[in-house]
Structure 1
Amino acid sequence: MDDLTLLKLLIQEKKYPYFTDEELQGFLTVNGGNVKLTAAKLCLMKADMEKSIKVGPITIENPEPEYWTNLSKQYMTEYQQESNTNNVSSGYYNTSMRRADEI
């Protein structure tokens, strides 16, 4: 699954459409391609949406803002956990050093 498709799934874009594909791709680019970080930010944007959106003859009711805020917190927590896992060091001490001639 590509990043754009995953992002659309996480922010439930099929059920609650709000962004164009170009906008979503732009947000992904701005956030360094990180899907969870982008999803967290976009959920907060969806929290500020109107109570309903009219798409042609169809009116789509949106969830309460707390729904999007809670979803955003979940994705932000997952993003931070992933970031911490990727930045794990071997401890407080440097266990290897470069030779003076390598510097």
Structure 2
Amino acid sequence: MGELEELKIILREESSPFFTDEELEFYLTKNEGDMNDTAYECLLLKAEDDSISLPGGLQLANNSQYWLRLAKKYKRNGSRCL
């Protein structure tokens, strides 16, 4: 399995498509191929407010908290040895 396919699985792109292959390649390159940093950045982008209010009172809930919970798994903790 290649990096792009692995990233798509982490980002749950099959069930919740958001990025094109070109965009994912861009973020992988931007993060120097680091899968965790790329996943974290992309999950934060997916966490943007996506709630929708339609005429007639129909509302689709915001699921940003779901993506933020997933992003926490890939966030660097910043701990280092001094």
Report the equivalent of 1:100. none
Check whether the contact 2:48–2:64 (CA below 8 A) recurs between aligned residues.
yes
Report the equivalent of 1:34. 34
**2:63 and 2:49 mapped to 1: Cα distance?**
9
Q: Work out whether 1:68 is the aligned partner of 2:75.
A: no
Q: Work out whether 1:24 is the aligned partner of 2:20.
A: no
**Stretches of 4+ moved more than 3 A in 1?**
none
Structure 2: gaps spanning 5 or more residues: 53-59
Quote the offset at 1:51 in angstroms.
Answer: 3.4
Give 3-state SS (helix, strand or coil) of 1:76's partner.
Answer: coil
Check whether the contact 2:11–2:39 (CA below 8 A) recurs between aligned residues.
yes
1:25-83 deviation line (CA, Å, top 9, x unaligned): 0100000001111011111100105237xxxxxxxx78711111111011125xx59xx
Check whether the contact 2:44–2:67 (CA below 8 A) recurs between aligned residues.
yes
Structure 1 length-normalised TM: 0.61
Structure 2 length-normalised TM: 0.76
**1:62 and 1:6 mapped to 2: Cα distance?**
28
- Identify if the C-alpha distance between structure 1 residues 12 and 49 changes in structure 2 by more than 3 Å, giving closer, same or farther: farther
**2:22 and 2:40 mapped to 1: Cα distance?**
18
Check whether the contact 2:11–2:43 (CA below 8 A) recurs between aligned residues.
yes
**1:40 and 1:76 mapped to 2: Cα distance?**
6
Structure 1: gaps spanning 5 or more residues: 53-60, 93-103
Check whether the contact 2:49–2:62 (CA below 8 A) recurs between aligned residues.
no
Report the equivalent of 1:51. 51
